[in-house]
Amino acid sequence: MTDPQTESPYTVLIADDDPTILLLLEHVLEGMGRRFEMADDGVQAWDAWQRSRHELVVLDIEMPGMDGLEVCRRIREHDGDRKTFILVVTGRDTAADLDAVMSAGADDYVTKPTTGQRLLARMRIAQSRMAADAARRAAEEELRRARYLAGIGEALITLQHEINNPLTGLMGTAELLLMEHKEKGLPIEDLQTILDQAQRISTLVKKIGELRNPQTVSYSGSAKMLDLKEQH
């Protein structure tokens, strides 16, 4: 294991029972300054990934307990966004074998026997693709948020329009009735309550119209609601 204090933008899980490959990968990852965890078999690898959700997993196909293809399939079943990059190290190099590797959900593979330089090259390729995938996910999230905010904006404009028109008529009628009751000496408490509540709605509609960066706050349980406090 690398020094726990070593900084690394992502963590690596190595699952292989071949001591030569383990030694090569250890040297490569230490040279890259990456923190990593090792597993001797497929069951350990699957358990380790469930605990830490490593961003990069290096899997051998032939391992005791659970083979690498099954580990790969399980990771993919629980990693819908494909945030884990899977590099398979395999001694099988037929077209059918490599097709099985990719069908299981692997992102890349390297065949045995291999060298430290080949492994380093594949690691660098994996690093570049991981960075590109992270940038793509960030862009997709930004686009999703932009569409969400645009949808909120359209909904708020609609609400303003649909609420303001009848609210203006309600407030005008309440004010006229309030004036008449005052002139005739009739009770005005109920009319004043109606006018006060209508004014409250008017203030709320105005706040909705002033939202420029809508945020949500917890409402009840997992439910969310728009934060209508003063926006800064």
CATH number of the domain residue 40 falls in: 3.40.50.2300
Is 123 a domain residue? no
Domain tally, the chain:
2
Is 199 a domain residue? yes
Q: Which residue has the tokens 């899977």?
A: 86
Mean pLDDT of 29-57: 91
Q: Is the pLDDT of residue 57 over 90?
A: yes
Q: Among 114, 142, 170, identify where a domain stops.
A: 114
Rounded Cα distance, 57 and 54, in Å? 7
Q: Residue 9: its pLDDT value, please?
A: 55
Among residues 202, 207, 191, the alpha carbon closest in space to that of 163 is found at 202
Q: Among 63, 86, 114, identify where a domain stops.
A: 114
Is 145 a domain residue? no
Is 215 a domain residue? yes
By residue range, what is the domain housing residue 17? 11-114
Is 24 a domain residue? yes
Query: pLDDT higher for 229 or 180?
Result: 180
Q: Which has the minimum average pLDDT: 2-16, 27-41, 72-86, 160-174?
A: 2-16
Residues 15 and 110 in one domain: yes
pLDDT tens digits for range 106-129: 999 888 888 888 999 998 988 888
Q: Among 94, 114, 134, identify where a domain stops.
A: 114
Alpha helices in 78-115 (DSSP H): 95-103
Q: Residue 7: its pLDDT value, please?
A: 39
Cα 32 to its chain centre, rounded Å, is 27
pLDDT tens digits for range 138-184: 888 877 777 766 776 677 677 777 787 788 888 888 888 888 888 88
Residues 45 and 89 in one domain: yes
Q: Residue 85: its pLDDT value, please?
A: 94
Q: How far apart are the first and last CA of the chain?
A: 47
pLDDT tens digits for range 191-226: 888 888 888 888 877 777 676 666 667 776 666 666
Query: pLDDT higher for 214 or 43?
Result: 43
Is 37 a domain residue? yes
pLDDT tens digits for range 65-105: 899 999 999 999 999 888 899 999 888 878 888 888 999 99
Residues 165 and 222 in one domain: yes
Q: Is the pLDDT of residue 4 over 50?
A: no
